[in-house]
Amino acid sequence: MLKRYERTRALVEGDPALARAIVCEVEREQGAEALVVLDEPREELVMVQARETAQGSLFFLGEALMTSCRVRVGDEVGLGLVLGSDRCRAYELAVVDAAFSGADGDAWASRWDAALRTELARIEARDELDARRIATTKVDFSTMDVLTSCSELDGTSRTTNGAVDEARIKRPQPADGGEGR
Amino acid sequence: MGYVAVRGGGKAIEESLKLLERERVRASAAWSTDEIEGTFPELVDQVMGEASLYAPRLAALALKQAQGSPDEAVFLLRAFRSTLERPYVSRPVDTARMRVARRVSAAFKDVPGGQVLGATRDYSHRLLAFDLETEGTEELAEKRADLEAHFDEAVEVSGRDGVPAVMPRVLDHLRAQGLIAQVENDDAEPVDATMAPLSFPAPRSVRLQTLARGMTQAVEALGYAAIRGFGPAHPTVGELRQGRVPVAVDHPLQTGGPEDAYYLGSVPVTEVESVFEGEDGAEAGVGGGSVGGGAGLALTIGYGLVFGRAETKAIAMSVLDHCLEHGDARFPTEDEEFVLYHVDGVEAAGFISHLKLPHYVTFQSKLSSVRETRRVAACGDGLDGACKDASDGDGESVRLDGDSAHLAPSACDAADPKEASHAATL
């Protein structure tokens, strides 16, 4: 079953209809009286913490605008957090969080597991298409004429990925050996 | 000398704001914040970076309100953020897991994952594209469709050989060889520069935060100065990576691993690891990310990380990080106070621009000092006439300066407009 990170990622990055569908079902099954909004959706800040790679230490990169909401479904309190100002999304995330963390959490999770995984796969496909578009800008050094002529001169072999094995490139030596020049 | 309270200007200020608004609406094409965000994404990035607040829609709004002034837009965003609560701190962002949109290295040609240019102007001709002057909505849609079709085809041709989801770090190669020190994660709580005034020596976390939110051009100018000779730094960009990193927050009450955290969304960042060569072990001893211990030359890393696509700022930040770690007070770019105090845009623009606001009393005091020293100097020289003249009164002393323009500022100090105009005609 998906844990909270993957679940919220599917709901935040994926089609908003999915969160709405889950919330609709929670509201219908639990009844209006079981669902209490503890904190109305409101804009807040999250401080983004980063780890630098020179000394491995932590620092604060800056803040990001976010919207939060807190609800209670039955006995369980749920929290909805999302970057930006989408109040509805924050509410929906809070309801889902409460439902999935409560006594019936496992039942809810297993009921929606497949849909959430489908959404994650869709996000993955979208990201992969982006990555493939970006991959078209990958530099292929082996197509440079100067390298081709070098390798032609000394018969440098190419590795399987087409890159020239630099260690094998030798400059053409003059007839007298050219030492000491 | 006491302050003289002066009232007035209320009506003038009201009208001035109306005139400013008139100027905004007179030429405005009623652009939505979406249009500003879409048309000037890098300006929006710059404003968010300097405001230290990731909020693209609000940054676009601030730019609209500020009529395109980045300084003013940053000020507006900083003021807005101070009205919000900040109950959450994210889990440390792991840039190693960045979804890269661009990744290049100036140090090695063949790097694992390859040199991925992404969308860059680095190799473009800097020629004005006059066709953009008449680019209409239809033409834009046409170009969009053409480029979509082009990349659909390009992606088909290249197959599934995409950029790996997680790009290995270029410098890991040197870490593995022991040329750059492997560092352990240091989980010491960072200090927040927004919660306390700067004090020196500043903790590393404050330095990095201050540089990350520094004025883009100021960080770049000081970084450049450090390389040109006002600091002994010449970097090689080991790796520059740009892309989105996820932001996650732990449950406020429960303890759990990363898999139990809340995913809030992602933010675009640019990260730079610059490599510097140290002279000896002593050099290597400064900062981290270095080895040597007297064993000869060593390599150290300068680190830069900023919101958005501010590449040049990120490189300059990495240079200044190295400089501040070095901390040789002979070089201004290695002097914490010099660098950190002056790179903040709101501080710098605020201080400089306040100079045009009324300083009537301060200037009077300055003027009195100058007159007094001249009078004393003239008396000391035995110029009895001058001594006498100087003590005669304001008008006389100004005439001694031979510069009647000096009268104008003091005339402005007069509370009574009639008196002021009279004084100005003297």
B300–A68: do the CB atoms touch at under 8 Å? no
Alpha-carbon Rg for chain B, nearest whole angstrom, is 29
Distance from CA of A16 to the nearest CA of B (A): 14
**Tens digit of each residue's pLDDT (9 = 90 or more) over A20-40:** 999 999 999 988 888 999 999
Taking each helix axis from N to C terminus, what angle separates A105-135 and B137-158, rounded to the nearest 10 degrees? 90
Relative to beta strand B53-54, strand B88-89 is unpaired
| CB < 8 Å to B258, chain A | 5
Q: CB distance from B165 to chain A under 8 Å?
A: yes
B92–A58: do the CB atoms touch at under 8 Å? yes
DSSP B404: G
B95–A6: do the CB atoms touch at under 8 Å? no
Count residue pairs from A and B with Cβ separation < 8 A.
247
Q: Which residue of A has its CA nearest to B84?
A: A44
Distance from CA of A175 to the nearest CA of B (A): 31
Instruction: Decide if B372 is inside a domain.
Output: no
| CB < 8 Å to B158, chain A | 132, 135-136
B86–A44: do the CB atoms touch at under 8 Å? yes
**Same domain for B244 and B112:** yes
Q: CB distance from B209 to chain A under 8 Å?
A: yes
Q: What tokens appear for B242 in the block? A: 């740009």
Q: Give the nearest partner residue to A83 out of B162, B171, B264, using CB atoms.
A: B264
- Average pLDDT (A87-108) is 94
- Average pLDDT (A108-115) is 94
Residue of higher predicted confidence among B232 and A72: A72
Q: Which residues neighbour B89 within 8 Å (Cβ) at sequence distance 6 or greater?
A: A46, A47, A49, A60, B249
**Same domain for B264 and B185:** yes
Q: Give the nearest partner residue to A62 out of B54, B119, B321, using CB atoms.
A: B54
Res B295: pLDDT: 61
Relative to beta strand A76-83, strand A58-73 is antiparallel
- The count of other CB atoms within 10 Å of the CB of residue A88 is 16
Is A6 in a helix, a strand, or coil?
helix
- Average pLDDT (A80-101) is 96
Sign of CA dihedral A50, B164, B121, A84: negative
Percent of chain A with pLDDT over 90: 69
| CB < 8 Å to A147, chain B | none
Q: Give the nearest partner residue to A57 out of B93, B188, B247, using CB atoms.
A: B188
B190–A57: do the CB atoms touch at under 8 Å? yes
Q: How far apart are CA B240 and CA B65, in angstroms?
A: 33
B162–A131: do the CB atoms touch at under 8 Å? yes
| CB < 8 Å to A163, chain B | 110
- The answer to whether residue A164 scores a pLDDT higher than 70 is no
Q: How far apart are CA B167 and CA B420, in angstroms?
A: 70
Res B411: pLDDT: 36
| CB < 8 Å to B95, chain A | 50-51, 53
Q: CB distance from B302 to chain A under 8 Å?
A: yes
**Same domain for B99 and B72:** no
Test mutation, A11, A45, A139, chain B, max B CBs within 10 A: A45
| DSSP E strand boundaries for B47-171 | 53-54, 88-89, 99-104
Instruction: Decide if B211 is inside a domain.
Output: yes
A44–B205: do the CB atoms touch at under 8 Å? no
| CB < 8 Å to B185, chain A | 51, 56
**Same domain for B99 and B44:** no
Q: Give the nearest partner residue to B212 out of A62, A65, A128, using CB atoms.
A: A62
**Same domain for B224 and B198:** yes
Instruction: Decide if B56 is inside a domain.
Output: yes
Instruction: Decide if B334 is inside a domain.
Output: yes
**Same domain for B256 and B230:** yes
Q: Which of residues 75-134 of B touch A (CB under 8 A)?
A: 81, 84-95, 99-102, 109-110, 114-119
Taking each helix axis from N to C terminus, what angle separates B56-65 and B70-81, rounded to the nearest 10 degrees? 130
Which long-range CB contacts under 8 A does B265-268 form with residues at least 24 apart?
Answer: B265/A12, B265/A13, B265/A64, B265/A66, B265/A82, B265/A83, B265/A84, B266/A83, B266/B99, B267/A48, B267/A64, B267/A83, B267/B54, B267/B307, B268/B45, B268/B101, B268/B242, B268/B243, B268/B244, B268/B307, B268/B308, B268/B309
Which long-range CB contacts under 8 A does B25-33 form with residues at least 24 apart?
Answer: B31/B64, B33/B57, B33/B60, B33/B61, B33/B64
**Same domain for B72 and B37:** yes
Instruction: Decide if B230 is inside a domain.
Output: yes
**Same domain for B319 and B341:** yes
Model pTM? Answer: 0.83
Q: What tokens appear for B85 in the block? A: 């609560």
**Same domain for B243 and B190:** yes
Instruction: Decide if B144 is inside a domain.
Output: no
**Same domain for B199 and B331:** yes
For chain A, the 3-state helix, strand and coil shares in percent, each to the nearest 5, are 50, 25, 25
Distance from CA of B212 to the nearest CA of A (A): 7
How many separate domains does chain B show? 2
- The answer to whether residue A149 scores a pLDDT higher than 70 is no
A64–B99: do the CB atoms touch at under 8 Å? no
Instruction: Decide if B128 is inside a domain.
Output: no
C-beta separation of B327 from B202 below 8 A: no
Enter the ipTM.
0.84
B89–A61: do the CB atoms touch at under 8 Å? no
**Same domain for B187 and B269:** yes
Peptide bond preceding A16: is omega within 30 degrees of 0, i.e. cis? no
Relative to beta strand B53-54, strand A58-73 is parallel
**Same domain for B172 and B78:** no
Q: How far apart are CA B219 and CA B340, in angstroms?
A: 9
A133–B102: do the CB atoms touch at under 8 Å? no
A51–B162: do the CB atoms touch at under 8 Å? no
Q: What is the mean pLDDT of each run of 10 residues along chain B (426 residues)?
A: 70 94 88 95 97 98 95 97 97 93 93 92 94 93 96 81 79 86 91 92 96 97 92 87 97 90 97 84 45 68 96 97 91 94 94 92 92 89 55 39 37 39 33
Instruction: Decide if B275 is inside a domain.
Output: yes
Q: Which of residues 262-291 of B touch A (CB under 8 A)?
A: 262-267, 269, 273, 287-289
- The answer to whether residue A163 scores a pLDDT higher than 80 is no
| CB < 8 Å to A81, chain B | 88, 249, 262, 264
Q: Give the nearest partner residue to A4 out of B84, B165, B260, using CB atoms.
A: B260
Range of the domain at B216: 95-119+165-280+297-345
